[in-house]
Amino acid sequence: MWWVLGIGLVVGLGALAWFGSRPLVHRAVPLEQLDRFAWSLAVQMTPGSVMVADRNEGPGFLQFAVITGRRQWAELEFGLPEVDWSVGRIGQVQDALAAAGIAAAYDPAGSPDEIRFLRARVSGPHEKVRKICGAVMVAAAGALGWGSPTFDVRLLGALRRANERGA
């Protein structure tokens, strides 16, 4: 009888560990609320971590990656790939970002089959980064002709240790 309870406990702990290792997906997040996930990325995640916001109404996504982060300061990078759903409007995205005061540039050309990215770096105190990231995402979505979409948002990467986080 005790062995059944032991097997159940082991299976339960295994399932908990498996589900706990999967990234949490925040579903149907409006465009205007994506800035809070950029803030979480800046405050809580280590360099190399990524926020991916997949558009629900069709193909496309918005993403930021952590370049550096400290207790009260972070640098994030917005990256928009030049692929089928963005290629016709990526120049408009760059113009919209410039109109919002955000410098963006293409990756240098590599091989012909390499995907190029439009990149923009955002740095400063966490609240400033949050506001600028929000402006970047609104400008990009508008230039891509997405209107007011909703997104499924994932934060991928490792959390910073509690003593390294700032608010």
DSSP 121-148: EEEEEHHHHHHHHHHHHHHHHHHTT--S
Q: What is the dihedral of CA 74, 67, 28, 80, to 10 degrees?
A: 130
Enter the pTM of the model: 0.83
From residue 50, alpha-carbon distances to 10, 76, 110, 116 in Å are 32, 9, 23, 18
| pLDDT tens by residue, 123-132 | 999 999 999 9
Beta bridge partners of 152: 54
Task: Provide the 3-class DSSP secondary structure of residue 29.
Answer: strand
| pLDDT tens by residue, 74-89 | 999 999 999 999 988 9
